[in-house]
Structures are given as structure tokens and as C-alpha cells.
Amino acid sequence: MNVLSGDTLEDRVLDSVRDWLSDPLESRFPYDGVLAAFHAGGKEFVAKELLALLHEARAAFGRFAGSPARTALLRDFLDVALDKHDGVYDYPSYTGLRLLPMPSVDEPDLLADIAVPRRDRLTVQLLADVARFELGALDGTETRLPLVRPTPREVEKRLRHAMRVAAPALDRVMTVRRPSDAQVLDQARWLVATIDVRLDAYERDALRLSMLPVYTMHDEYVFIRTLQLFETTFATLAVLLERVVRDLGEGDDPSAAAGLRSCATLLSEAAPLFSMLATMQVEAFRTFRDFTSGASAIQSRSYKLVESLCRRPDADRLDSAAYTSVPDVRRRVLDGVLTIEDVLDLRLGGDGAGPEPELATALDELATTVQRWRQTHYSIAVRNLGQRTGTGYTEGTPYLDVVRSIPVFRSRAADATGCPVAAHREEEA
């Protein structure tokens, strides 16, 4: 299927890429046209001739100059745009994670106190972009992803949950006063305007280039942004937990407890994203997911980093698709990277003594929060998928059903017994 066949948009885009190839400067790359072509029918239906030209453009990297950051952004964009063409389509490429400036455990000398502000800044940017898209569709000015628009009431609910996630991050990264007493749509318009003037050129491009849906269903926009938002939070948690491991090894229990509480807080603050996701229309989701085979959240590297920093995964889980799909994380585990539970076991010497009360409370708080997150993830998946298989050839909801009972810390009695944790339920009205 070629949704651009015979359309003047296709001709213009093809001509613009050919023109760029004649003088391949990074600053001249026709992002706008290429994005328009991808959004016209979704990544699944981009013209093969355009994909071939983009493949040629990627090969031209040795022939043009540009700033390292901008050149890397273009290279990453082309890799994400060509994932299906290359046969490497997966969850990270579907969500465009390489294009977003999220914290990472791979970044040398990234301090925990820098990771949280970076997470907050990216979080409010992604939420403002969701608001921009939803308001544009509501106002009739947004033409992308036109199929099965939500009702005004659904948009209002969606934006209410978005503002709930944005609020604590805004309070930490900005000094401006939020209009908390305004109507939801007015709050969302304020968020869009407030963030828009604070975006630098790189951030603005990273946001727009990281939205490459597979189809033209309206709700895929909020789906992709929600996945990116969760990944941003889990990437930050991984940075914080690495610091917790170091603090525990140095005997700094107060700092370790503070880091654990920060992790629980960030994950709790992200919880309304599930309610935002629950505003998706089930049939719309089931339509666009037909084109996402090969991409599944089971491939989330950040989530596995968080899980494996808490404790070493059991052998059967380490050998399952959950970890074989993130081989670098699996290698970290096999190489013996220390976990929180490892350090506590070494310090306590296996004599049955537990950590100090403040640290024990922080461990339990994080464990309970993670279990609650898993339970809610399962509930949302059941609503949208039923008993269908997952999008990455996984077992879907049966897999999530098993995963939600995995102890976060084996040594914590309340957690290890698989204590029932009520699903996080956000108000729907």
C-alpha cells in the first residue's frame, strides 16, 4: 500500500531529499517534508522510493559537516525512520528513545541531582506536546493522525491527567505559578505556551522527530508519548538506584534511603499516565497495534535496569525473553554488577538482621510502589488487549500477570510474599 502514490506531497518530498543529496549539509536536511510523508499514512505505509532515498542519505554521512549534536540527531532520526526498512524495528525504535535527551546510566559522571531535573524538564515537554496535539485536534487545526478523534469530553479527561503528571515536575523546574484554579483546557493551553517559549532548537527538533507513528489513528500519539514518559522516569530511576547502591556500599544509609524515596515519589507521580492511557479508544488501539508487531515493552531496557539494580533476577527470568531482548542488561547481570540486595546481604552478613528502620521503610515504599505500577499496567493491558498476544510476539496479558508477582526485593518479607497491592485507580471524571 502506498498512500502517497500520485500525490504531489510525495513528489515534493522526493525532490527535496534528492536536492539535499546533491549538497548534504545537516542544516539543509528537509525534516518538515520527510515528517509530513511519514505522518500522511504512518511509518507502515511510507513510499519505498522515499525509504530508499533516506537510506542513501544515511550513507552520505561521511560527506557532510555539521555540529556533533545535530549530526547525531539526524543519524538517529534516520535510523528510527528506517527501522522497518532495515528489519530492526523494535520497541526502542518505535518510541524513538534515542532521539530524546533522557538521563542514562551510560552517561559518564551523570549525577543523581542532575538526572531528576533533566527528567522533569523532558516530562513537561512531552506532556505539553500531548496537550498541543489534543488541543489542535479539538480546535480543528491539527491534521496529523486524523482517524477516530476522541470526543471533547475524552480530550478533557486526557488533559486533566496530563496536568496532574506535569504539576510536580513543573513545581521543581520552574518558578512560574501554575493556574491551578483554571479550567482544564485553559491549564493545558497555559502549559503549551509556557513550555514552547522555553524550548531550545535542539529540544524542539527532538520532540517533533520522535513522533513517527505506524498508522494514522489519533490515539497513537498519546500512546507513544505515554511510553516515552514512562521510559524517561524509569531511565531516571536507574540513575538514582545506581547511586543508592554506591551509598549503601559506603555506609551512607540516610542518602540511600532518600534516593529510594525519590524513586518511589517519581514513579507515583507518573501513575496518572495510566489514567491518561485509559482514555484511549480500545478499537483505535487494536487497529494501530496490528502494525506494531516486533515492538513490545518487554524490550524496555530502562525497566530491566531498575529491576536488576534492586536485586539479581532469578535464573528463569534472566533466561526469558524479558532479558534476552535486552542483552546488554543481561550481560551486566551475568558480569555481577552489584544490586541493592547484594550490598545489604554483604553488610548484614546473612545473620538475619535487617536494615535500620529508615532504610527498611524506604525499601518497602519503593517495593510497594513498583508492585502497584505492575498491577496497574496489567489492568490497563487487560482492558486494551484482553487475552490477545503482546505486540512483540510476547504472551501479552498472561505474561504481565506473572510478572506482577515477582518480588522487587527478595529479602523484604512483605514484598517477597507477593503482598496484595491494590491497583492504582485514578478518578475518571
Q: Do residue 126 and residue 212 come from a single domain?
A: yes
Mark whether 34 and 141 lie in a shared domain: no
List the pLDDT tens digit at each of the 429 positions of the chain.
444 444 578 899 999 999 999 988 888 999 999 999 999 999 999 999 999 999 999 998 766 666 788 889 999 999 999 999 999 999 999 999 999 999 999 887 667 789 999 999 999 999 999 999 999 999 999 999 999 999 999 999 999 999 999 999 999 998 888 887 889 999 999 999 999 999 999 999 999 999 999 999 999 999 999 999 999 999 999 999 999 999 999 999 999 999 999 999 999 999 999 999 999 998 899 899 889 888 888 899 999 999 999 999 999 999 999 999 999 999 999 999 999 999 999 887 755 567 889 999 999 999 999 999 998 887 887 766 655 554 444 455 666 566 777 899 987 644 433 443 333 333 333
The answer to whether residues 278 and 194 belong to one domain is yes
**Residues 77, 172: one domain?**
no
**What pLDDT score does 65 carry?**
61
Question: Does residue 333 lie in a domain region?
Answer: yes
Residue burial 394-403, b: 16+ Cβ < 10 Å; e: rest:
bebbebbeeb
**Domain for residue 20, yes or no?**
yes
3 found inside a domain: no
- The per-residue pLDDT for 111 is 75
Does 52 share its domain with 142? Answer: no
CATH number at residue 314: 1.20.58.480
Q: What is the per-residue pLDDT for 392?
A: 44
Same structural domain, 13 and 117: no
Domain boundary (26, 55, 88) is at 88
The answer to the question of residue 103 being in a domain is no
> What is the reported pLDDT for 298?
87
pTM of the predicted model, to two decimals? 0.90
Query: Using alpha carbons only, what angle is made at residue 225 by residues 222 and 231, rounded to the nearest 5 degrees?
Result: 140
Q: Helix, strand, or coil here: 123?
A: helix
Structural domain that includes position 306: 112-416
| 96 part of a folded domain | no
Q: How many CB atoms lie within 10 A of CB 186?
A: 11
Give pLDDT, residue 423. Answer: 37
Of 88, 104, 124, the last residue of a domain is: 88
Is 323 part of any domain?
Answer: yes
Residue 368 to residues 115, 148, 422, 426, Cα–Cα distance (Å): 23, 37, 10, 17
Q: Are 228 and 355 within one domain?
A: yes
Are both 125 and 68 inside the same structural domain?
A: no
Verify that 201 and 256 share a domain, yes or no.
Answer: yes
Please tell me the predicted confidence (pLDDT) of residue 400.
57
Say yes or no: 82 and 204 in one domain. Answer: no
- The answer to the question of residue 136 being in a domain is yes
Question: Rounded distance, CA 239 to CA 235, Å?
Answer: 7
Overall number of domains in the chain:
2
Whether 134 and 222 map to the same domain: the answer is yes
31 plus 178 within the same structural domain: no
Residue at 426 is within a domain = no
